[in-house]
Amino acid sequence: MKKAARWISKRISAPTRTVRVALRAGRNGTGQELGAYSYWPDSARSCEASDDIAMRIEEDAEASGYKIVRE
């Protein structure tokens, strides 16, 4: 049986609006952090780059035996 992992996001109040996204293992997505990145939602370039990063993090997690749970 594969271990479950979920994406968790959090808005950060910084000088510029930032979102931090982490892939976490565990039942409620509160366990070990498998990978994370931050991006600026007001920047199309930043949003596009974040998609590539998320795919790489998911690929690494799946290769390590995790199943990505979609909400």
Task: State how far the Cα of 64 lies from the Cα of 71, in Å rounded to an integer.
Answer: 21
Q: What is the pTM of this model?
A: 0.84
Owning domain of residue 22: 3-68
* Mean of all residue pLDDT scores within the chain: 89
Q: Is residue 21 within 8 Å of residue 7, measured between CB atoms?
A: yes
pLDDT band at 5 (very low <50, low <70, confident <90, very high): very high
pLDDT for residue 55: 96
Instruction: Determine which helix (DSSP H) or strand (DSSP E) holds 59, and give its type and residue range.
Output: helix 44-63
Structure tokens, 17? 């609006």
Structure tokens, 13? 């109040």
pLDDT for residue 29: 62
pLDDT at 53 over 90: yes
The number of folded domains in the chain is: 1
